[in-house]
Structure 1
Amino acid sequence: MIPMSPHIFYSHYGLDTNPPATHLCYEVYRQAELIASGHFTNTDEEHAEEVFIGERFQEAWRNCTIVWYISWSPCDHCMEILLNTFLPRNPLVNLHIIFAKVYRHTSMNNVRELSDRGVQICVMTPQDFLRCWNHYVETEEPFVPWTDIHRNYQRVSNWLYRAIHGNN
C-alpha cells in the first residue's frame, strides 16, 4: 500500500473542508486478523464505494468483516448499490461504515435501511482519525486534531441517531 500524504488526509477528512471526492480507507478482517488494507478516492467515473465494490473487493473476502473509514457518508446512489447488489450477493460480509462528515445527498431512509440490514454505521471518533493517520499517512508528524472535532462528533452522531431511529 502506498501511504497518503498528510495534505491528502487533512484535505479530505478535514471537518471544514469540502473536497470534490470521497476518500476511503479500508480494512478487511478474517476473524480478528487484518488481512488487507488500502485507501483511494473516487475516479472520474465512479464513487469510492463503487471502486471498492468493483475493483478492490475480492471473492476471498466474502466471509469477512470490512471496515470503511470514509470522508463523507455514502450518497444515495452508493447506498442503493450496497442495498440492492453488494449485500444480497455477499450475505456473510460484515460491513462497518465509519464516516467523518454527512454528505448532502445522503438519505436518512437509506441509512436506516443499511442499519436494519446489519451494516454498522458510525461517525469517526477522534480515535478513528488517529488510527487512520497512524496506519495510512506517511509522516513522522503527530496527528493534530481539528479544534471542533468533539463538537463535530456530537453533531454528526445526533444526525446519525435521527437517521437510524427515524426521528427526521
Structure 2
Amino acid sequence: MVPMSPRTFRSHYDVDTPPPGTHLCYEVYDHRRTLIASGHLTNSDEDHAEEVFVGERFRESWRTCAIVWYISWSPCDHCMEMLTRTFLRVNPNVQLHIAFAKVYRLTSGGNIRALRRRGVNIRVMGMNDFYYCWNRFVDTDRSFVPWGNLIPNYYQASHWLNITLSGAP
C-alpha cells in the first residue's frame, strides 16, 4: 500500500471542509481476523469510492471476510443501494463495517436502515478512528493533531445516525 500524504488526509477527512471527493481507507480481514489487505482510494471520474472498491479492489478470495471502511462521507443512496441490492446479496459472507467522518446531506434514512438490516455496522468516526487512520494510512512521522470541530461533529453526526436508525422523521 502506498500511504497518502497528510494533506490528502486532511482535505478529505477534515470535518470543517467539503472534500474534493469521497475517500475510502480499507482493511480486509480473513475468517481468523488476520489482516489480508489494506489500502485507500478515492472516487474516479466515473465511479464513487465505494464502487471503485467493489469493482477494482474486491477479490473473489475475499468472499468470506470482514471489510472495514473509513470513509470521508456517509454513503450516498446510489452506493447504499449498490451495496444492499448487489454486493452484499452476492457476497452474504462478507461482514462490512463502515465508519464515516461526515454526514452527506443526501444520505437517506431508509437506505441507512437497509444497510443495517443487511448486517452492516455503520457508525461515525470517533477520535480513535482518526488517530488510527492517520497512523495506518498516512505517510508522516508527525502525530495527528485533531481539528477543532472534530468532537462536536462526532456528537452531531452520531445524533443524526441514531435518529436515522430509529426511523424517526
Q: TM-score, normalised by structure 1?
A: 0.98
C-alpha distance after superposition, 1:23-82 (max 9, x if no partner): 000000112211100001000000000000000000111100000000001100000000
Q: Distance in 2 between matches of 1:73 and 1:137?
A: 21
Alpha carbon RMSD of aligned pairs, Å?
0.7
Structure 2 alignment gaps of length 5 or more: none
% identical equivalent positions: 62
Aligned counterpart, 1:145:
146
User: Which letter does structure 2 place at the counterpart of 1:111?
Assistant: I
| Structure 1 consecutive aligned stretches of length 4 or more whose deviation exceeds 3 Å | none
| Number of positions where the alignment pairs a residue of Structure 1 with one of Structure 2 | 168
Aligned counterpart, 1:87:
88
Question: 2:56 aligned with 1:41, yes or no?
Answer: no
Q: Distance in 2 between matches of 1:17 and 1:108?
A: 23
Structure 1 alignment gaps of length 5 or more: none
Aligned-residue offset at 1:163: 1.1
Aligned counterpart, 2:127:
126
- Determine helix, strand or coil for the equivalent of 1:27: strand
Q: Distance in 2 between matches of 1:115 and 1:23?
A: 21
Aligned-residue offset at 1:22: 0.3
Does structure 1 conserve the Cα–Cα contact (< 8 Å) formed by 2:11 and 2:20?
no
Q: TM-score, normalised by structure 2?
A: 0.97
Q: Distance in 2 between matches of 1:97 and 1:84?
A: 17
Aligned-residue offset at 1:166: 0.5
Q: Distance in 1 between matches of 2:163 and 2:41?
A: 30
User: Which letter does structure 2 place at the counterpart of 1:70?
Assistant: I
User: Which letter does structure 1 place at the counterpart of 2:110?
Assistant: N
- Determine helix, strand or coil for the equivalent of 1:26: strand
